[in-house]
Structure 1
């Protein structure tokens, strides 16, 4: 055998069972042998690269189960407010960005936490004061809402309420004047479409840089829950520059009002692919977010909101899902509220699993106990983001999400362990740019139920914490299962795809707080080293 690459490590978690492994041979992008260090001499040829990782731990490559790397380039433009801890700090960052810009130059920002408003109405007033009359578009952390200044609204021709085909709103005061708050994508798009967008070549280079940063944290792939606008052109242009540092699987959106031609277009997209990207499945949204009052709950939230589906007629959603399922296309549905999750499960009931992958529910933030068993019975995957819980909610329920839901529903927050214990395939991810993409911190938070590195923070529903193995499976074997790739990915065994991640610590034995900051020694995608940490000799 003449392997292209051989990796040796004291610890190898194959997630495939069988005898202990300390060496893995790769050729043509595939694992061709596993064994001990003594076997390396039999695999080595004149051009074989042998890398001994020493005390590092090698695992199957990590895959983020839900992220938005292409759309996120626009969503994260300009000013980062995700770490701002007060409206005063928000003002300082926006004012500093606006200072010196022409009066007609846009100011963009992202990551604004509605908790900073302290229960007061969320309006554009703090943004107006900071940018001094300039057009500004500030996205809130959930990416389902934004604040637009008066100048931005005027440029977009928005001077009052609007009607949309989907549940969306230009929030107005009692006199019909916009407050600056735009809820959900149709309303946000009114302004966002007027914001300057970088050319495709610029965003292609940005995408490659972003994916490289992701690879340095151990990610080898991602399930991308969108394919909007010119995303295909951006990805193709990025791949023209060289192989992508990550393997990407896109799920284009199906939106309310879709007709037969729209379904046919979604079907046609399933054949699109590049060297390290492909289209697989279709993404739906059946509700919005709890923080915005746009989730779909079985009982109203504390403000009397979150009572309706994102689809004006939920039966149309069911019909679209079933039409795609009949053609063997798996679906992934954003469902946050309890009514939303129940409706999705009703829509999927009785549908067979496609060879291309099972159907999925994304987010699942508050879940009644009677629905846990239905995930199992129907073979539906739960795709969840632990850092949404640990970053944006609090154990004492004083955060906006918990206050809106009330104690009973807030106590059902992100029931990762209950779902996993019941036998539900549980995929983990970040939903970047809603939360940071670093999988080490997601793995840690999934176990701790609090932010890694902050031991003084009380954990949220600590009994819902995952074991280290459950967390790792959420980024590996479960992610492969959810993509219909269980036979070729998510494990280290002969015939599997050579996507591999090596940690400086053992992710199954290290303290989660230590894991969150531990170096990633090597990341391998398709048999090629895409990240090489400082601890590895070349």
Structure 2
């Protein structure tokens, strides 16, 4: 058990006071992430900065330091989720959660129980995924109507790229057999031409009438963020790269940070509606860098599970479609050019091989169009979010431009149960190719995409090094050579997210002068058998020398 002396530990979700920034930590393995000195026996922190990391015998005087005995737990540089959705993580704690539903019947049993427990108002939820259900199909409005008769229901698929709504919700949105899906979207219809209730990608934009009818979300934005901060501190994350951060929520997050309510670091990549304003203002930072906003998130295509990822060749299990592009170069490139001139980072969602290829071409076009002396920063560090399905011939673009590949290991261990059916075997050569990209010198940032996935750093680390599902299964088409070493996995969740947020000089490793962000687990990730990694627990989360969560 972790032992902390002379320190009142914070309750999860509580405000973070400017205290306890002077620490001495010892009593377990300490991995620094520094190649020249990978291990330390003791770390000292003063005023939120690391002042010593090395042998205990060499440590300076500890007067005035709060002593933390790890009691055998293992300390690492602070883990950062390089791609997640903070508002969705919080909402998952407050809305209907369908994660882990094993069938249509189980998912609808949960909906029925929720409806009975919450007899008034709309029902919002997410987390279902049909790929391993015995029924082998998407949910429909008829399923929802039977479980919650007459209710306004919207349930997002786990990937967030499709939602199923009830008949009442269809009516509220004004969607019927004559409704035409917008470009980049699909309204699934039955044999009679009637909507099944499933809307894919851009078709979800048709929900305006639904939102108008349900009124304000009963869960406030502040409550969602409070819950998200609490969950992530408890998991051991010291930071999050918040993708698709709603532009209108940025002032709220900044206010929460200034008030001490942001227990972990937030690096915002905002929705495109905030691009013009962010380009005009330049990067934003508050509370000594606790919340930084300096990126815009764009979308090139959809998701593989809902067949929205844009492919060069048709889907193997639905040959009439090649997926859905959400934007074209004519619209994207001017935004990218403006970003170069303003010093704002670009992060573009791309999953399919065609989606990824198009984005690399658009990036190159924008970089050629803007003279180097007009770039606000010499190294813009543009990113592609997901980079899931690549043609091996496109790897070089990530190295040469260069492009940061922001990837989520847990997607592979879930998707490989259906990726072969969607893609066929040949296209799996470029699927979730973490190791191939790393070998070429590409920065690969590890993330979770929570709430699409659970958001547990131990699951993500395990997926990266084992490339097996949580039951230990690895199919013959899972390309085991794409698993990474543990040293690489550690960089994926520490140093490389720091680099991707322009903060490698102060975050990502345990070395003198850097900010005191630490994560401790009850297992040694670098030595424990891989199968044990997902069963570990976070023990301690420290941000700027402040203990923001402890399992003790």
TM-score by length of 1: 0.89
Instruction: Find the partner of 1:363 among 368, 371, 386.
Output: 386
Q: CA contact under 8 A between 1:6 and 1:23: conserved in structure 2?
A: yes
Matched, 1:447 2:461: no
Q: CA deviation at 1:22?
A: 1.4
Q: CA deviation at 1:456?
A: 4.6
Deviations 1:265-306 (A, max 9, x none): 131464433322110211111001122222211112132223
Pick the aligned partner of 2:32 from 8, 11, 14: 14
What do residues 347-389 of structure 1 show as CA deviations (whole Å, max 9, x unaligned)?
Answer: 2227379467501111111111111122111121111111111
Can you give the 5+ residue segments of structure 1 that lack an aligned partner in the other structure? 256-261
| Cα drift, residue 164 of structure 1 | 6.9
Q: Aligned equivalents of 1:331 and 1:410: distance in 2?
A: 27
- Aligned twin of 1:373: 396
In structure 2, what is the equivalent of residue 211 of structure 1?
229
Q: Give how far 1:106 is off.
A: 1.9
Counterpart in the other structure of 1:123:
140
> How far off is 1:333 after superposition?
0.7
Give the conservation status (yes or no) of the 8 Å contact 1:357–1:483: no
Contact 1:66 / 1:383 at 8 angstroms: preserved in 2?
A: yes
1:504, 1:518 within 8 Å by CA — same for their partners in 2? yes
Change (3 A) 1:9 1:377: farther
Q: Which residues of structure 2 form unaligned runs of 5+?
A: 1-19
Distance 1:356 1:162, change over 3 A: farther
CA–CA distance in structure 1, aligned partners of residues 218 and 138 of structure 2: 36
1:35 to 54, 57, 61: 54
In structure 2, what is the Cα distance between the partners aligned to 1:22 and 1:335? Answer: 42
Which of 418, 424, 438 in structure 1 is aligned with 2:442? Answer: 424
> What does residue range 311-330 of structure 1 map to in structure 2 within 5 Å?
311=327, 313-330=328-345
Q: Does structure 2 conserve the Cα–Cα contact (< 8 Å) formed by 1:253 and 1:284? A: yes
- Root-mean-square deviation (Å): 2.6
8 Å Cα contact 1:444-1:516 kept in structure 2: yes
Q: Which residue of 1 aligns with 2:523?
A: 505
Partner of 1:220: 238
Please name the residue that 2:312 is paired with.
298
Structure 1 pair 176–348 and aligned structure 2 pair: CA distance change class (3 A): same
Q: Check 1:140–1:487 CA distance in 2 against 1; reply closer, same or farther (3 A cut).
A: same
Query: Residue 86 of structure 2 aligns to a residue in which SS?
Result: coil
Conserved? CA contact 1:160–1:178, under 8 Å: yes
Does the CA-based 8 Å contact 1:3-1:44 persist in structure 2? no
1:75-127 deviation per Cα after TM superposition (whole angstroms, max 9, x unaligned): 6652221111111111211112223654x632222111132374546532222
Structure 1 residue matching 2:245: 3-state secondary structure = coil
CA distance in 1, matches of 2:459, 2:315: 31
Single out whichever of 339-348 and 272-281 deviates more from structure 2.
Answer: 272-281
What displacement does 1:158 show? 2.5
SS at match of 2:406: strand
TM-score, length of structure 2 as denominator length? 0.86
More deviation, 229-238/368-377: 229-238
Partner of 1:23: 42
Match runs of 1:493-532 below 5 Å: 493-532=511-550
How far the C-alpha of 1:502 sits from its partner, in A, is 1.7
| TM-aligned CA deviation for residue 26 of structure 1 | 1.3
Q: Provide closer, same or farther for how the CA distance between residues 361 and 193 of structure 1 changes in structure 2, counting only shifts above 3 A.
A: farther
